[in-house]
Amino acid sequence: MFRNLKLKLTLIYVMVVVIITLFFMAGIHMMMIRSMKAQSDEIMRLVARNAGLNAGNRGALQDSRWFDYFYVITGPSGNIIETSPNLPVSRNRLETLVGKALESGADKGRVKTSRRAEDIYMFLKTVPEQGSGHIVVFLDPEPQNFVSGRLVRAFTVTGLAGIVLTFFASYFMAGRALVPIKKSWERQKKFVADASHELRTPLAVIQTNLDIVRGSPEETVASQMQWLENIDTESRLMAKLVDDLLFLARADSQQELVSMDHFPLAPALDEVVKAFEPLAERRGIKLNYKKAPDISLYADRTRIKQLVSILLDNGLKYTPGGGEVTLEVKNPGHGAEIIVSDTGEGIAGEHHGKIFERFYRIDKARSREDGGAGLGLAIAGSIVKAHHGTIRVRSAAGEGSTFIVSLPGKN
Ligand code: ADP
């Protein structure tokens, strides 16, 4: 799929470059032809003015090696009275040329004595100031054709070489342009595969427990409670998973994740800590909260609470009974620094870069038992990013973990 796309992009680039180049080449060619035509007309006018005077302004004219001209002065009946000394044609052909020029209704144009290119002449017909008859100046367009032909040949050669070069350059550029798209495509594919896998597990558990219940229809609901509770737990897990997936999908589609407002941080975090106290007590973990009063944040209150909940939930999940989890808020001058630390199992250095990835779990089986799908820190990362803040981890295996969130003040 990407090979075809790369080729398509390359061809589009090449076509655009070819069209622009053709446009410029045609412009240059046209300008040059026009300027040579204007010069030819000017020369023919000058020759016509000086025809028969002998003196004339011939010096300037003879210098122009690009223009090959001669003139003829005719009587009223078209008979040739005088010609310039430099006649490049025979008397016969001259008479034909003059006859055709005089017959032509226009004052200037082209006449030919045969179909061959070298027998074509440009002409200018004027009436002399004294006397009757005509002055007809002929100019050989061959040098102009030669220059124009040269230009077209040069354009063709450089144009073809340019197309080949543009093709390779565009192929390279298209490859580079596709790298981020390819990466995001791969990430998306992996995300969908992981999500399906995660959803399949609770669905399978629900199915199995339903089969057990169905297998004993004579039993009472109370006696089947164990299986029903399993179904309840798994469906709640699934609902949370679906919520998390929707959140990340919204983050991916660049939808607005946060609705910003000013709010005091302390009461918001009080609510979060209160919600986690029963869980901490059940697990025998001491939950500390080091408040920093008077911090007012410009942020999304609900998302900040969600972020702290994820970090506290992880702290409580990965800290054994008897340990401690501490939430600390600091005021670094503007914005806020939220630090969640625990005395738990810690995270080895090699995992630090990966734990913020979607579905990444250090111990898959363990994490699943605790209800984790590996999305918590990915969501935390998205929330922090939406607030233009940063999140980092300081931890080592067996030495507890510290997550530090820095949120900027209002810009
Ligand atoms: P999960 O839902 O599995 O907890 P997270 O994205 O929140 O997913 O965390 C990813 C992984 O990082 C976890 O599976 C766990 O291995 C590790 N982790 C996160 N927080 C902590 C912590 N406080 N202590 C030890 N390990 C942690």
Coil, helix or strand at residue 295: coil
Crossing angle of helices 265-283 and 301-317, rounded to 10°:
20
pLDDT band per the 50, 70, 90 thresholds, residue 53: low
What DSSP character marks residue 294? T
**Tens of pLDDT along 79-95?**
888 888 878 888 888 88
How far away, in angstroms, is 293 Cα from ligand 1 center?
A: 29
**Tens of pLDDT along 156-206?**
999 999 999 999 999 999 999 999 999 989 988 988 999 998 899 899 999
> Is the minimum distance from the CB of 301 to ligand 1 under 6 angstroms?
no
> Is the minimum distance from the CB of 51 to ligand 1 under 6 angstroms?
no
**How high is the pLDDT of residue 59?**
47
Residue closest by Cα to atom 12 of ligand 1: 355
Q: What is the DSSP string of 154-215?
A: HHHHHHHHHHHHHHHHHHHHHHHHHHHHHHHHHHHHHHHHHHHHHHHHHHHHHHHHHHHHHH
> Is the minimum distance from the CB of 345 to ligand 1 under 6 angstroms?
yes
Q: What are phi and psi of 354, to 5 degrees?
A: -100, -20
CB 288 within 8 A of CB 326: yes
How far away, in angstroms, is 268 Cα from ligand 1 center?
A: 24
Q: Does 254 score more than 50 pLDDT? A: yes
Q: Which amino acid is at 394?
A: R
Indicate the Cα dihedral angle 319, 300, 331, 354, nearest 10°.
40
116 or 12, greater pLDDT: 12
Q: In the chain, what is the straight-line distance between the N-terminal and C-terminal CA atoms, in Å?
A: 43
> Is the minimum distance from the CB of 50 to ligand 1 under 6 angstroms?
no
pLDDT band per the 50, 70, 90 thresholds, residue 371: low
Q: Does 117 score more than 80 pLDDT? A: no
**How high is the pLDDT of residue 366?**
66
Q: What is the DSSP string of 321-379?
A: TT-EEEEEEE--SSSEEEEEEESSS---GGGTTTTTSTT--SSHHHHHHTT--S-HHHH
**How high is the pLDDT of residue 367?**
64
How far away, in angstroms, is 390 Cα from ligand 1 center?
A: 18
Which of 319, 377, 404 for a ligand 1 pocket mutation test, highest count of atoms within 8 Å of Cβ?
377
pLDDT band per the 50, 70, 90 thresholds, residue 253: confident
Taking the CA of residue 403 as reference, the ligand 1 atom at the shortest distance is 23
Stretch 19-26: mean pLDDT, rounded? 94
Q: Does 127 score more than 80 pLDDT? A: yes
Q: Does 132 score more than 90 pLDDT? A: no
pLDDT band per the 50, 70, 90 thresholds, residue 104: confident
CB 249 within 8 A of CB 243: no
Q: Does 282 score more than 80 pLDDT? A: yes
Buried residues in 27-61 as b, exposed as e (16+ CB within 10 A):
eeeeeeeeebeeebeebbebbbebbeeeeeeeeee
Mean pLDDT of the chain: 89
**Tens of pLDDT along 301-333?**
999 999 999 999 999 999 999 999 999 999 877
Residue closest by Cα to atom 8 of ligand 1: 374
**How high is the pLDDT of residue 119?**
80
> Is the minimum distance from the CB of 329 to ligand 1 under 6 angstroms?
no
pLDDT band per the 50, 70, 90 thresholds, residue 15: very high
**How many CA atoms does the CB half-sphere of 354 hold within 13 Å?**
11
**How high is the pLDDT of residue 331?**
83
How far away, in angstroms, is 372 Cα from ligand 1 center?
A: 8
> Is the minimum distance from the CB of 314 to ligand 1 under 6 angstroms?
yes
